[in-house]
Amino acid sequence: MRLAIVGAGPAGIYAADLIIKAERDFEVSIDLFDLLPAPYGLVRYGVAPDHPRIKGIIKALYEVLDRGDIRFFGNVKYGTDITLEELKSHYNAVIFATGAIKDAELNIPGVELEGSYGAADFVNWYDAHPDVPRTWPLNAKEVAVIGNGNVALDVARILAKHPQDLLATDIPDNVYQGLLSSPVTDVHVFGRRGPAQVKFTPLELREACAIEGVDTIVYDEDFKYDAGSQEAIDTNNQTRVMVNTLEGIRGKELTGATRRLHLHFFSSPKEIIGVDGKVTALKIERTELDGKGGVTPTGEFIEYPVQAVYRAVGYFGSELASIPFDNKYGVITNEAGRVLDSSGKHIPGIYATGWIKRGPVGLIGHTKSDAMETIACVIEDKSSWWQPEHSTDDAVIELLNSKNVQFLGWPEWLKVDATERALGAAQERERIKLVDRADFLDAAFKKN
């Protein structure tokens, strides 16, 4: 069997690893394609640089790819460098694991103002994604972050943290210099619901509340619990830990730090206010508990003076050429990983896994169980696999070469990896990320 996987993040790598381990009865040849000139997807380009424990998953993904039984093709764009018809002519089936990297929309007035940003765009910048600008407008003293998930806390923490405390990470120089110029004093995080309903994980919350040289501030009026909230606290250990963490902040004295992180609850964003086309404030409506753990609006509005707003309300998948797409949920139309046509029938040979399959929910670890479901469908559908016209390992290389696609294989990626480590070692850091595609290619194809 020859299998193509489009997307070399955790979802794609887990799927490749699982099918090789599951199919012991016959040989499986797997090629992993990615738009980026680097593997690991959101672990490399979606996790804040000061999260080394989460990034430790890269070690496990590295070990899978370094075994040599899965080929990596980086810097290959699906739809142009390789099309669906070309995949059909070279493989028995294809799994799409392209994830979700765009910001979900927040439909309130003022989102178009200068100073209103999608959190995903900011994450791409500080994580050195090769396809985004190298600069970011960090000129606001007071900043609002809308959202109560881990990405909102990541964004708030990076904005509030003193840049020198990031120098031990893989942060590239352009990001460090940008953050160094930031005049920020106050970062406000707003969530619609209460402390018992936040979507943070305990680790993220503890890290955000313990930033060196930053005071974390919560507000007494935000600590309200109804029967639904109390049930969550009593029955869910994670909820209990987070509520206890937030309650603990209430009793802490402020240190007089020059930067402050404010956590606001029961605050629903209603309008981004601007003057002369630039953000000047965020208008929120206070909410209250409805008795079941949810919230309802109160009709009380508050305006917070800010000069920038970051919208961390979720990710959204991107449509892929020739593949059915659900524009409402930002996913490939599928059932248990089998891609469906407009009539609801499975399109033979085409599958999905990860966030492009189920939406941007769950942590990185959830992608493994998700991949298991998809792989089970792939194996069950053996009788409907494509019969490729070109079935040799060299055929797809010849195809990419004929189209002048400058792809990186695993050996080339190891050269890039070594280059980043060498850059880091020169400054007594683990690594410093390369940023531009040209730098990746120079490192990948340099002569030893």
pLDDT at 306 over 90: yes
Q: Both 309 and 228 in a single domain?
A: yes
Are 215 and 259 in contact, with CB atoms under 8 Å apart? yes
Give residue 41's pLDDT. Answer: 95
pLDDT at residue 448 greater than cutoff 70? no
Q: 89 with 140, same domain? A: no
> Do 157 and 306 sit in the same domain of this protein?
yes
- 48 found inside a domain: yes
- Token pair, residue 403, equals 């189209």
What pLDDT does 24 receive? Answer: 66
Domain boundary among 290, 315, 340: 315
pLDDT per position as a tens digit, 412-444: 999 999 999 999 999 999 899 999 999 999 999
Residues 333, 208 share a domain: no
**pLDDT the model gives residue 27:** 83
pLDDT in tens, 180-193: 999 999 999 999 99
* 18 & 133 share domain: no
Contacts of 316 (CB under 8 A, 6+ apart): 100, 102, 103, 104, 105, 330, 360
Instruction: Please name every residue paired with 85 in a beta bridge, in sequence order, or none if there are none.
Output: none
Q: What pLDDT score does 293 carry?
A: 73
Q: At what angle do helices 150-160 and 119-126 cross, to 10 degrees?
A: 60
* Position 49 in a domain: yes
286 and 139, same structural domain? yes
| HSE value, Cβ hemisphere, 13 Å, CA-based, for 172 | 19
| DSSP letter, residue 408 | B
User: 143 and 252, same structural domain?
Assistant: yes
Span 107-111, average pLDDT? 98
Q: Identify which has the larger pLDDT, 429 or 55.
A: 429
Residues 250 and 342 in one domain: no
Residues 210 and 112 in one domain: yes
Does any domain span residue 433? no
DSSP, residue by residue, 14-50: HHHHHHHHH--SS--EEEEEESSSSSSTHHHHSS-TT
Residue 307 lies in a domain: yes
- What value does the mean pLDDT take over residues 201-225? 94
Residue 23 has pLDDT above 80, yes or no: no
Confidence of residue 318 (pLDDT cuts 50, 70, 90): very high
Q: Which domain range does residue 357 map to?
A: 2-101+317-407
Answer yes or no: do 140 and 209 share one domain: yes
Q: Which of 31-40, 250-259, 265-274 has the weakest average pLDDT? A: 250-259
Tell me: the pLDDT tens digits for 360-414?
987 676 788 899 999 999 999 999 999 999 989 999 999 999 999 999 999 999 9
Tally the domains of the chain: 2
Is 233 inside any structural domain? yes
Average pLDDT, the chain: 95
CATH (domain of 46): 3.40.50.720
Model confidence at 26, pLDDT cuts 50, 70, 90, reads low
pLDDT band per the 50, 70, 90 thresholds, residue 292? confident
In a domain, 443, yes or no: no
Domain at 193, CATH number: 3.50.50.60
Instruction: Give this prediction's pTM.
Output: 0.95
CA-to-CA distance for 245 and 319, rounded, in angstroms? 40
Residues 207 and 281 both lie in one domain: yes
Of 280, 315, 350, which one is at a domain's C-terminal end? Answer: 315
Q: What span, in angstroms and rounded, lies between the C-alpha atoms of 446 and 448?
A: 6
Where a domain ends, among 299, 315, 331? 315
Instruction: Check residue 361 and give its pLDDT.
Output: 82
- Alpha helix stretches (DSSP H) within 307-365: 355-358
Whether 414 is in a domain gets the answer no
User: Does residue 10 sit within a domain?
Assistant: yes
Query: Do 31 and 88 reside in the same domain of the chain?
Result: yes
pLDDT at 274 over 70: yes
